[in-house]
Each structure stands twice: as structure tokens, then as C-alpha cells.
Chains A and B, each alone.
Chain A
């Protein structure tokens, strides 16, 4: 799947996440919604920035004083707002970078996902530009350091008619117009950032931009608490006649500046442009990864119910008017191959994906060419063939999760799928109806860790009868078990399987399977 270092890092990530789950509860674990957390921090920064804009004085002489007024005279409100503005900006950088690393570790950056990755790279520049211009506005010694450093850095390119750094040679060189321009940039760049963030999630169906409520509440309380205990303060006012000496930089935004100071502008440009280019082309550097064939719609079997379009995590399936001359409903599902990750969730959602329906081979409204529904049912029969004992179990799971092959045995058959979300609930019913096993253990990656997206969520809802296609009510629930297991949790899954088999052995024998007519109807 990937190189050993990356696999080890991914395993480490899963362990950290499960440890964090145990500490704070799954709903309050920010690792599963780092992108949404960045959105939350963006809104906090935006709202606090609106307030700060009102008392801020856009003049070289009074900018620092106005910030001091906000911080000291209005410490109880303005000071807290200023601190929220700063700390939420810092937290946004933190969650954004963690988001980037996590998506890379989970291999969610190539194939159909190139768009989100590629459009995410400019966001980094925009976030940093917004932050740096914000620090300039304070016009303290740190702002002086940043202003001169940035100007020298840009001047090195030699594309500007006049030297920008010469604007900071002496106190008289700066004008109020410069600060007006600066605040315009500080507002305009975040607005562009918002637009770019929208583009970033454009190809993601049901993109979650709101973290769970407990996490939002806890994070806001944490930010306010931090603002009260450790309020953001300015350095002494900038004085261009005085060299900057010891500074307290915001390392979330300014980590590159010491590199510029020590290695010069060429190295600083090389690192920043090099990193940008490298990140941008990463989706196309996954050379050995073969892309699976996209889902295919079978027009005669599609009744345009829309379930597949609703369930697809990347909006790859849409409903379009049915071409004239083709019999059937007014609309038909259409797959956009460029967006399809071949997860198979659409196959499971189709109301024609039912093993009880007659026909050979089994046809469905939408199918995966390299792992058809017919093949899935045939494999299911083969993997359960010859199982012995009174507690035979079929384990259905995801190929990206726990290693299912380690669980195989005389009484245990396994069937790995592209994603657990491609399992239609009727398949479980089929197992019991055909007496293929005494119990079914469905395992999926933990929610938030799905290689695709939404696989565990859809599986859980379908099995609980909260989302179509639902697991039939008559299916004996004591013989079905759902268990989340990451790729690092095969042992945990084995323990769960052993417990499940003990429980199955204690159950009375299953009633004789009834007719399949009702199953087809449902």
C-alpha cells in the first residue's frame, strides 16, 4: 500500500487517535475533523477581526497606540477579542498543518482526490499572508522585523521597480497610506481565502465544515481561557531608527524568517517555492498506485432513486435526464469517472443490489467493473463454504482496516471489500437465509479514518435501520455485530471475534429460513 516509514507513521497516528478517544471521547477528538476545526478557527478569527477593525487606527503614528488601547483599556473585552484573534489564527495554522499531514498519511491525496489536495496548497500561502499582514498592523518591534524581513525577501526577486525595503529605512519614510493599504490586504486576503476554502471542498459530497458541538464548545472555552490567562500583548512600538533585538515571534507564522536571516533570501525562496511545488505535484507522484475502474451504471436497472448520488462521498454520481429512446424513469444516474474513487458505496445503496433477486449473473443498477456485486455474492458463498461448528462466523470488512486474513479458520470465513460501505445489508440476510454462517461480524475502519469517506457512518446507519438500504428488521440482531477496527487493531478484532463466537455458541439454533419472497419485496 505504501512505504514502511509511512505505514509505521500511520500506525502511530491510529494509536494516538485511539488513545485520544479513550481520554476525551470520540466526539471531542479533533483529529477526526481537522479540516472542520480550521473552518471553526477561521470564523473565530473573522468575527474577532470585525470587532478589532472598529477601534483600530490606520495611521503609522497611532496604530500601535490604538492596539494598546484595545489591549489594556478594554482588556476585559477588547483584549480578550484581540487574544482570541491571535490564538484562533495560531490554532488554524496548527489544525491546517495537521490536516495536511494526516491526509498524506491516510493516502487521501491522489486519484480522484487530487483536486482537494491541489487546491489546498494555495490555502497555506493565504493563511500565512493573512497572519503576517495582521502582525504588521500592530506596528511594534515584531512588525518592524517582519516588515523589513518580508520587504528584503521580496526585493531579492528583483521584479519590483523600486526597492520595498527602502520604505523602512527611516521613520519619515512611512506614510498613513501604507497602513490603509495594509489593512486592505489584511481583509482582502482572508476573503480570498474563504473563497479558496470553498473551492477546496467543492468536490466533496457532504463536506463537514462544522466540528461536533461538544468540540466547538470545549474549544471556544479553551480559547477564552487562554486569552484571559495569557493575553496577547504587543512588543514596544516600532522605531525604524532602532535595530530590532530580542523578539518573541509567533512561531506558527514566522518559522521561516530565521531561515531567511541565517541563510539568505535565495534559500528561503528555494524552501518555500520548493515545498509549494512539491506539495502541488504530490498527487501525480504516486506512480505505482493503480487507479481502479470507476463505477458503471446499468441503464435498464437504474430507476433513478438517487440513493447512489446521495451516498457517494465525492459527488461522483449525479442524476441526469435519461437519454431519449432508452426505456425507464425520466432520469438516470450518471457516474463522473474523474471523481469516482471506486469505493463501492453506490453499489450498496442501489435498491437493485439484492442477492435475493433472480438472475445470473446478478445485475444491479450501478456496479464496480473489477468487483461486481455478482462476484461479491459468489465470493461470499466460497468463503463460507465448508465452515464447521455451531458458531460459524463470516467477517465482512474493509481492505484498509484490520487484516482480515489473520482471522480465517475452520469456523471463520472472511470477505474483504473495497470499503465496508459497499456491503448491502441484504447480504447479511442472505448469509442467514442460505445458512452460510451462524453469525456475521461486520468490521469497518473507525469513523473519521475511512480511506474513502463516510463508509463506517453509512454502514452503521444502514445496519441500525436509519438509512436506506436498511437491514431487514427480522434479521436476528444477536447474530450480527458491528465493530470498528483500524489497521492497527487486528488483535482487538480477533478478541471481539472470539467473544462473538462464544456468544453465538450459547444461542439456540436458528429457525429454518423462510421464503425469500418477502426479502425481495423489502
Chain B
């Protein structure tokens, strides 16, 4: 039974407790992205081309191998690192080289980046190098977009079609 002298104190204490819980359960507000801006997300996973050329095994080499492993061509597992660059309105906005995943370096390279951008018309160019020629990009694509406030614009790579995907 609550003693009468504590009733007022308990009302005050429980009210403070409630205010503390209720307030921080949803306040103060937090601005994650500026409401007027759009968002560009660059997200892709891509396996670079295999490093080095495949070669034919000689008959002598094949004879030394177990019968179940006698494949005529020998190809390395290691893949090239993938370099990805993105320009927005002619200015470089992203440039990164990602190593292939896996202990043998034969997995996919992974990229993920998001950035705010003012809404309106923008020219976006994406370039990717995944082959053995280190002086040229294997994939280049450009798109002109009209972005709305809070729109999320995604740049991906379609592995089936083998080209950049803008959506």
C-alpha cells in the first residue's frame, strides 16, 4: 500500500519516467538524407576476367596426371581486380579498384557506394575495367537522367547482358 506522503512524489517520478521513455523513443528527429536531394547508389558485384591465357597441356604432362584430371587445357583460377569509375556531370565522383574475393582470388569484386545529389538533369558515366589490358576500360556506359527529390537511382551491372544497368 502506498503511503499518502509518497503519492504526489510517485506521480511526479512516474511522469518523469514516462516522459523520458516516450520522448527518446521517437525524438529528437534525425535527418538521414537532405529531404530535397536524390540518392545515387552504385552497387555491383562482378567477377573480373581470368588472369593469363589458357594453354594446351602436352601429352607428357597429361600422362603424369591422374586419369580423372586429364583436361587438355590448363587455366589459372585467379581473376583480375576490377576497377570501377563514375563521373557525374563530367567530374569524377567515384574511382575504386576491388580485388576478387576468395583465398585463390577467383571470386567476385564488390562495390557499394551511395551519395546524395541535387535533383534535376545529370549526365552519369560509368566505366569498368576487368580484363588484362590495364590501359583501357572494358565497359563504358553513359546515361542522362532527370532525378526527382528523394529518388534512388541505382547503377548496377547486368551479368547476363554484360553491360551496365541504370534504374
Contact = CB atoms under 8 A, between A and B. Distances in A.
Given A24-B9, A155-B112, A247-B29, A226 B151 contact: no
Interface string A390-407: 000000000000000000
A170 interface: yes
Contacts of A218: 2, 10, 14
A87 interface: yes
Instruction: Provide the main secondary structure of the chain A interface.
Output: helix
Contacts of A248: 26-27, 29-30
A230 B156 CA distance: 43
Interface residues of A, number: 48
B154 interface: yes
Interface stretch (B39-47, B56-64, B131-139): B39-47
Contacts of A250: 24-26
Given A240-B152, A243-B152, A247-B30, A166 B22 contact: no
Interface in A239-254: 240-252
Contacts, number: 124
B33 interface: yes
Contacts of B151: 241-243
Given A242-B150, A245-B34, A245-B35, A221 B43 contact: no
Nearest to B38: A243
Nearest to A258: B30
Interface in A449-475: none
Contacts of B17: 91, 219, 222
Contacts of A214: 1-2
A23 B13 CA distance: 8
Given A90-B21, A221-B14, A246 B41 contact: no
Interface in A182-238: 214, 218-219, 221-223, 225-226, 229-230, 232
Nearest to B107: A161
Contacts of A484: none
B36 to A, nearest CB: 9
Nearest to A171: B152
B49 interface: no
A20 interface: yes
A28 interface: yes
Contacts of B110: 155, 158, 163
Contact of B21 (A91, A155, A170): A91
B32 interface: yes
A169 B31 CA distance: 20
A23 B43 contact: no
A94 B34 contact: no
Contacts of A229: 18, 22
Contacts of B97: none
14 contacts: A23-B6, A25-B10, A155-B112, A169-B41, A223-B18, A225-B18, A232-B26, A246-B30, A246-B31, A247-B31, A247-B32, A248-B30, A250-B26, A251-B25
Interface of B: 1-3, 6, 9-10, 12-14, 17-18, 20-22, 24-27, 29-35, 37-39, 41, 43, 45, 101, 110, 112, 116, 150-152, 154, 156, 167
